[in-house]
Structure 1
Amino acid sequence: MSTALEVTGFLLGVASWLVTGASLANDYWKVSSFSGSVIISSRQYENLWHACAESSSGIAECRDFESLLDLPGYLQACRALMIIALLLGLFSMILSILGLKCITIGSAGDQAKAKMATTGGIIFILAGLCTITAISWYAARIVQDFKDPFSGGIKFELGAGLYMGWGGACLSILGGALLCCACKRASSGKSKGGYYSSSHAAKIHKPVSDSETARAYV
């Protein structure tokens, strides 16, 4: 049962890493709102790297954010958190695959493999927390600007890239939790069994003193 949980947690972690990467590369983090528009001639959308405008004919023109120092602070923080999440996810996948029971690489023992898998699960959870922090922060700014009656210009709504990021974060946290639970259950079961067998063996092979032997003969 623990092996199935480990494999499931690892597969969920790999899927979360792929979905998070796709979310980071997605263009539609925020999309211009059609609310209150009578005639729509173009659509605008942005992500962490560039802003695009798409005409009614389907032709899109994008402009990259050139100056890093000119960007808002929350946008720089979201970039850093997403990149950190991907790096943590890659590192946790390497640790988790080395710690799986069904994969034998090197001469690591069961306890060492359990520790590696548990560490990989914890890092998966940290990667998911980084992703969900970046996505939620970006979404909160969109909602704040949309609800602000004094902000002029174009109103934006939540795009598909944000929903992909939330999905990837949930998969990462769930996969890490499954890895940690499976390895903890396996290690606790082994320790209990080892303690019982050693104590039982000590009781069976308890040495008999000379006085006890003399009493038995008397």
Structure 2
Amino acid sequence: MSAVDSLGFLLGLVGWILIGISLGIDEWRVSSLDGSVITTSTIYENLWKSCASDSTGVYNCRNFLSLFGLSDYIRASQALMIISILMGFFAAVITLFGLKCTLLGNTDPIVKAKVATAGGAVFIVAALCAMVPVSWYAYNITVQFYDPLYPGTKYELGPGLYIGWAGGSLELIGGICLCLTCKSASGATRAPGSYAYTYRAARSTPGAVSRKINSELDNTSNYGKSAYV
């Protein structure tokens, strides 16, 4: 099942890269033109900064001045995305030692399968840490957009969210594929149609052994006496 763990590693690695790309994209949310009076400028934001561009292509960005001035969900999303990036990196390193096509670490197939499963579990956690803030961020955009009493600027979903969803989905699928390698390796250790037999030696006591020896000696002496009759 080397193809399954290699495919899982590639999917997880590509998903981790996409999550990193989504974290650096400025357009997590883009100002909506629906009901807006000013249509010559566009405002877009991500977790770290806010940018504005006009119809001529000139744009200006500013970082958020204070972490404590942000909404709670933005601060939580920042933390979860950073955790996802770090865990994805460690998952890729762990999985490298568990791939059957590599000679790193222990070469025992069972040990490698367990290491690959551990890497797959970390990939799954990293995917969830990325998909939760992306979905949470999109949920707040949707709620604000459909709230008629919301006084601020209304936004729409930006491309950074879609890339984050794609990366988290690939990491999740890759982690599941890696977790399946442990079951495949344990099933491959026993050939199809073979059966295992367990032999257990009969227990004997010293008294039983002595009685058996005496019985054999009596039979031998009786045979000797009848031989001369």
Aligning the two structures, in what range does the TM-score lie when normalised by the shorter sequence? 0.7 to 0.9
Equivalent residue pairs, number: 205
Give the counterpart letter for 1:128 in structure 2: A
SS at match of 2:30: strand
Give the counterpart letter for 1:87 in structure 2: L
- Which residue does 1:140 correspond to in 2? 139
Residues 143-171 of structure 1 deviation map (CA, whole Å, 9 limit, x = unaligned): 11111111113210000000000000100
SS at match of 1:199: coil
Of residues 197, 201, 207, the one that matches 1:199 is 197
Q: Distance in 2 between matches of 1:96 and 1:7?
A: 9
Q: Distance in 2 between matches of 1:107 and 1:119?
A: 15
Residues 186-205 of structure 1 deviation map (CA, whole Å, 9 limit, x = unaligned): 12331x449x57638x59xx
Answer whether contact 2:5 2:99 (CA < 8 A) is retained.
yes
Q: How big is the shift at 1:39?
A: 5.5
Flag the structure with larger Rg: 2
- Which residue does 2:42 correspond to in 1? 43
- Which residue does 1:28 correspond to in 2? 27
Residues 31-54 of structure 1 deviation map (CA, whole Å, 9 limit, x = unaligned): 000113466110000000000000
Q: How big is the shift at 1:114?
A: 1.1
C-alpha spacing 1:79/1:4, structure 2 compared with 1 (3 Å): same
Unaligned runs of 5+ in 1: none
> For the aligned residues, what is the CA RMSD?
2.4
Q: How big is the shift at 1:91?
A: 0.5
Answer whether contact 1:50 1:64 (CA < 8 A) is retained.
yes
Q: How big is the shift at 1:70?
A: 1.3
- Which residue does 1:155 correspond to in 2? 154
Q: Distance in 2 between matches of 1:111 and 1:130?
A: 29
1:104-143 mapped onto 2 (5 Å cutoff): 104-143=103-142
Answer whether contact 1:31 1:44 (CA < 8 A) is retained.
yes
Give the counterpart letter for 1:10 in structure 2: F
Q: Distance in 2 between matches of 1:90 and 1:39?
A: 43
- Which residue does 1:58 correspond to in 2? 57
Q: TM-score, normalized by length of structure 1?
A: 0.87
Q: Distance in 2 between matches of 1:182 and 1:106?
A: 17
- Which residue does 2:93 correspond to in 1? 94
Answer whether contact 1:6 1:183 (CA < 8 A) is retained.
no
Residues 92-151 of structure 1 deviation map (CA, whole Å, 9 limit, x = unaligned): 001101000110113442222111100000111111111110100000110111111111
Identity %: 44
Give the counterpart letter for 2:127 in structure 1: G
Give the counterpart letter for 2:197 in structure 1: S
Range 180-189 or range 15-24, more displaced = 180-189
Q: Distance in 1 between matches of 2:82 and 2:28?
A: 16
SS at match of 1:43: strand
- Which residue does 1:180 correspond to in 2? 179
Answer whether contact 1:23 1:162 (CA < 8 A) is retained.
yes
Give the counterpart letter for 1:43 in structure 2: T
Unaligned runs of 5+ in 2: 203-208, 217-229
SS at match of 2:197: helix
Query: Per residue, is there more helix in 1 or in 2?
Result: 1
Q: Distance in 2 between matches of 1:146 and 1:49?
A: 21
